[in-house]
Chain A
Amino acid sequence: MKPVHEQTASELLEAQEEGELSAVEIVQACLDRIGRLDDKVHALLSVRGDEALERAGSIDERRRRGEPLGALAGLPVALKDNMCTVGWETTCASRILENFKPPYNAAVVEKLHAADAVVIGKTNMDEFAFGSSTETSAFFVTRNPWDPDRVPGGSSGGSAAALAARFVPLAVGSSTGGSVRQPAGFCGVMGLKPTYGRVSRYGLIAFGSSLDQVSPLARDARDMARLTGVLAGHDPRDSTSIDAPVPDYLADLDEVPRQMKLGVPAEYFGEGLSPDVEKRITEAVETFRTLGFRIVEIRLPHTKYAIASYYVVATAEASSNLARFDGVHYGHRTAQKAGLVDMYSLSREEGFGDEAKRRIMLGTYALSSGYYDAYYLKALKVRRLLKEDFDRAWEKVDAVLCPTSPTTAFRVGERVDDPLAMYLSDIFTVPANMAGIPGISIPCGFDRDGLPVGLQIMAPNLQESRLFRIARAFQTVTDFHLSRPDL
């Protein structure tokens, strides 16, 4: 039998059903691996081994008694540290929430528990998800398991790195502008940004409320379909959650959708795209052609304005959302003696890191008197143009194929002093968040330095199942998703 860390979630479920492995053995194997190797990766902010083993023990006990078990029974999951876990520190990798212990669980945590998954650790991230490299974490920098001198991407870099390092078979992150697809691409795993509203945001600490979406990470299409099926669904506690039935994503996974038309947008292959990434994407497009898909060239003409409009909308929403950190209800309060307003300002100044302050400032500026129309309203209009680009594309094609990011993982420190260069690494992922549509990143090869390249597939609203089937078709004839880093 393959060691636990080499098995997919689906294989681990089968091994438990066959009686070859227990949930306790699986959880223990993951905890051992984290203990041995996380010193090199720094993917996890906190691990709760005893609780995880206890939960695994009770799952094993229920299996022995023949009781029905959930869809993720006994599977360890790593959770980004911006999702609330009752009584368990939820920090957003920020000093301002360093000791925050939520009084309730996020909707997705309830769903994971109901499916008998075992949340074993909370993962590192860019502070409040503000970043594309996990370097803005207030606590430490996460390393890319493929090369410790490189970033894992971000903001869900800890979740992607934990999955790539085989610490866990499944992970959960969140996406506001590319925070799961980009790190998944950099780390050689799969990341899905579901349709806006597909997964409840209840208990996800807000960054940009019209953009945020809880987003699963997995190593192959089958695991991804399984995890998404558990997380998705309507929740009355999130008024923006979509009230539509969740399809059985596993049922039609193997139906190769050969008759489908895949669009390749010219705008994603211009200046700034690394030649190695371009080569791998072109090869992947050829693979799809060989599989019988029809490849069509399309235009998404407003792509070049995506980053500019996104950074106005996202920071405006962030500046409003982060107003709640006031040193009164929870979070850091300054030790300096001050009146109310000074207490707010000092607590926030001490508690927030550099990038958080920069984004609060940018968003406050864009919403401030005299600039609202020029920046915020303008950006919302461009947002509609971005969405209409996709509406027109769906008249011609069933899905869009393109690179996830213009480059592979960059070096630690390379972009920290140049915020704009950092922002531009999200250029290909931001449009899906602005439009609300689902997008997935899947491994499609390596560059000359042996770093993973991500292929992005986007589809119309609520067509996650289409993304899984296209990814599955690709993975039946390629083995990039099976490659793993040497640690």
Chain B
Amino acid sequence: MIDEKEVQHVARLARLRLSPEELRRFASQLSRIIDYINQLNELDTSTVEPMSHPLDLTNVFREDAVTPSLPRDEALANAPEQRHGFFVVPPVLEWEPPEG
């Protein structure tokens, strides 16, 4: 089970501002999905190594050589707001009410 309060907490972690209607709906839909996922607990996996990737790769390195990179104007071309060759963001330091 996941209740609306928990949905609100997860939404905050995920940087989503959910509407009250979405909070209600997601609480019930996510609960059903998580119930379904809980069937994994039928399996004893105490001796199984987790598999995070299908290939047995370790570190993959490239030559430490300088190659051309994206020109600045092209990198900025899709930015919602830019000025003097920089991405522009709203004020970073702001007061955030504590959760709960």
Contacts and interface: CB of A to CB of B under 8 A. Distances in A.
B29 A101 contact: no
Quick one: which of B6, B32, B79 has the most chain A CB within 10 A?
Answer: B79
B66 interface: no
Interface string B13-56: 11111110010001001101110111111110100111111110
Quick one: which of B19, B36, B49, B92 has the most chain A CB within 10 A?
Answer: B36
A340 B37 contact: no
A347 to B, nearest CB: 8
Nearest to B13: A364
B78 A319 contact: no
B70 A104 contact: yes
A215 B22 CA distance: 34
Contacts, number: 162
B39 A305 contact: yes
Contacts of B39: 304-305, 308
Contact of A344 (B15, B18, B29): B15
A210 B54 CA distance: 7
Contacts of B15: 323, 326, 341, 344-345, 348
Given A103-B70, A349-B18, A361-B7, A341 B33 contact: no
Given A340-B94, A361-B16, A420-B36, A331 B80 contact: yes
B78 to A, nearest CB: 4
B84 to A, nearest CB: 16
B53 A345 contact: no
B63 to A, nearest CB: 9
A330 B29 CA distance: 31
A307 B40 CA distance: 10
A340 B43 contact: no
Interface in A202-228: 210
Interface of B: 2, 6-7, 10-11, 13-19, 22, 26, 29-30, 32-34, 36-43, 45, 48-55, 57, 60, 62, 70, 74-75, 77-81, 87, 89-92, 94, 96
Interface of A: 99-101, 103-104, 196-197, 210, 236, 239-240, 242, 302, 304-305, 307-309, 311-312, 319, 323, 326-333, 338-346, 348-349, 352, 357-358, 360-362, 364-365, 368, 375, 377-385, 387, 419-420, 423, 434-436
Question: Which 3 A-B pairs rank lowest in CB-CB distance, beginning with the nearest?
Answer: A436-B54, A380-B50, A330-B78
25 contacts: A101-B77, A103-B77, A197-B54, A210-B54, A239-B57, A305-B39, A308-B39, A309-B40, A311-B33, A319-B14, A328-B79, A332-B80, A340-B89, A343-B90, A346-B17, A357-B26, A360-B16, A361-B10, A377-B50, A378-B41, A379-B40, A381-B43, A381-B48, A419-B32, A419-B33
